[in-house]
């Protein structure tokens, strides 16, 4: 499952030849990274991260990458620590919160292996990726190459935190999927 495939990119740009495939692949990768910086992982991937917990334990632990599709394993970092069966854990996919089903505390440090992503790509996120790709391609090749006219794709004002690379319409499409504010 990909956020945006080469075939999607070629269809959006009305490209029917293979002459730009290598360059387009780089654009697809760049668009994917930029979109995921705003909404979190879209394409499913395995993530491994270590969490230190207070000596008194924790009732809730929050994974760093959300959404989280599933837990694969939770093992102690230190020899002799508690091993947790993932069947005994509750994962809230949207927040990444992990709790023991029995209500007890988690003790660590623990190494979590999980799948982050969305399972399927929402159509709105795919559309946002296509529009962003078209915008970036236009800045490379201009209106004469069939990627659109220099009109509403022009980014005449930078978007705070995003510069000129992401048109406001893309951010508007991504708004319902954006990550919550980070807590340090």
At 83-128, the pLDDT tens digits run 899 999 999 998 999 999 999 999 989 999 999 999 889 999 999 9
pLDDT above 50 (res 182): yes
Which element (helix H / strand E) includes 29? Answer: helix 21-39
Q: What is the pLDDT of residue 67?
A: 93
Of the candidates 109, 123, 98, the one whose C-alpha atom is nearest the C-alpha of residue 50 is 109
Cα–Cα distance, 130 to 9 (Å, whole number):
7
Q: Please compute the mean of the pLDDT values over residues 64-89 and round it to a whole number.
A: 93
**Which pTM does this prediction carry?**
0.77
The residue among 55, 58, 53 whose CA lies nearest residue 109 is 53
Distances (CA, A) of 97 to 17, 36, 55, 61, 63: 46, 20, 19, 6, 6
What is the spatial distance between Cα 172 and Cα 83, in angstroms, rounded to a whole number?
A: 43
pLDDT recorded at residue 161:
60
Q: How far apart are CA 35 and CA 138, in angstroms?
A: 18
- Tell me the pLDDT tens digit for each residue of 126-175: 999 999 999 889 877 665 554 444 444 555 555 566 566 788 889 899 99
Peptide bond into 67 cis (omega under 30): yes
Give the pLDDT score at 133.
Answer: 93
The predicted structure's pLDDT at residue 150: 47
Q: How confident is the model at residue 183 (pLDDT cuts 50, 70, 90)?
A: low
- The pLDDT assigned to 80 comes to 86
- What is the model's pLDDT at position 181? 72
Structure tokens at 120: 């399927």
- Give the DSSP letter of residue 113: E
Sheet architecture: strand order including 110-116: 45-51, 110-116, 68-76
- Beginning with the edge strand found earlier in the chain, give each strand of the sheet holding 61-62 in spatial order: 61-62, 97-100, 89-92
Q: What is the pLDDT of residue 20?
A: 92
According to the model, what pLDDT value does residue 62 have?
Answer: 94
- The predicted pLDDT at position 184 comes to 47
Sign of CA dihedral 57, 60, 66, 71: positive
Cα angle at 7 between 4 and 8, to 5 degrees? 45
**pLDDT at position 179:** 82
Over range 16-25, report the average pLDDT.
94
Spatial separation of the C-alpha atoms in residues 131 and 71, rounded to whole Å: 33
Tokens 């994917």 belong to 32
1-11 pLDDT, tens digit per residue, is 689 999 999 99
């Amino acid at each position: 499952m990909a956020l945006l495939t080469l075939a999607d990119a070629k269809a959006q740009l009305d490209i029917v030849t293979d002459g730009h495939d290598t360059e387009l692949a780089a654009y697809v990768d760049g668009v994917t990274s930029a979109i995921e910086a705003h909404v979190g992982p879209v394409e499913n991937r395995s993530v491994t991260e270590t969490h230190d917990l207070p000596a008194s334990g924790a009732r809730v632990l929050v994974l760093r990458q959300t959404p989280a599709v599933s837990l694969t394993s939770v093992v102690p970092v230190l020899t002799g620590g508690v091993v947790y069966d993932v069947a005994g854990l509750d994962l809230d996919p949207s927040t990444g919160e992990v709790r023991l089903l029995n209500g007890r505390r988690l003790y660590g440090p623990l190494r979590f292996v999980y799948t982050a992503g969305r399972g399927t790509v929402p159509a709105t996120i795919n559309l946002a990726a296509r529009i962003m790709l078209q915008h970036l391609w236009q800045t490379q090749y201009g209106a004469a190459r069939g990627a659109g006219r220099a009109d509403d794709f022009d980014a005449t004002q930078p978007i705070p935190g995003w510069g000129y690379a992401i048109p406001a319409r893309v951010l508007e499409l991504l708004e319902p999927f954006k990550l919550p504010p980070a807590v340090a």
